[in-house]
Amino acid sequence: MVEGYGRVQAIDIVWGEGYNSGTFFGVAERVMLRIRLRRVGAKKQPSYRIVVADSRSPRNGAFVDQVGLYNPMVDPPAITLDDAKVREWLSKGAQPSEPVQAILSKRGILTKE
């Protein structure tokens, strides 16, 4: 189910019980969530939103939650993060992409392993 613009809600699988145990009521799948950059901005003026998204969705596709902003065009690059949201998603199992991992390491949220 899609809930609102740019938000995805997980769908659970429910199998019927009783007279017809093979009755199918819904769909479910486990999704691998990634914390990654989503490009916004004009041509030759990139800026990025740091979002939590399904690993299979396209770069600028649907996302679950926005946790920050990254603007590499200013000196020094501007990074705005909601640290509590990032820690919450990491605790739920979301994996950061390589660029986001570097940003989180600089902010002290992740330690280099």
CATH of the domain at 64: 3.30.1320.10
Does residue 89 belong to any structural domain of this protein? yes
Question: Where is 88: in which H helix or E strand?
Answer: helix 83-91
Domain that holds residue 102: 33-107
- Looking at the structure of the chain, the number of domains it has is 1
Residue type, 50: I
Reference 59, options 37, 44, 89, 33; nearest CA is 37
Residue 78 lies in a domain: yes
The per-residue pLDDT for range 17-75, each reduced to its tens digit, is 444 444 444 555 566 899 999 999 999 999 999 999 988 888 888 899 999 999 999 99
Q: What share of the chain is helix, strand, coil (3-state, %, to 5)?
A: 15, 35, 50
Is residue 8 situated within a structural domain?
Answer: no
Residue 17 placed within a domain: no
CA 97 remoteness from chain centre: 10
CA distance linking residue 99 with residue 79, whole number of Å? 12
**Is 14 domain-assigned?**
no
Which residues are within 8 A (CB) of 18 and not within 5 positions of it... i.e. 6 or more apart?
Answer: none
pTM above 0.85, yes or no: no
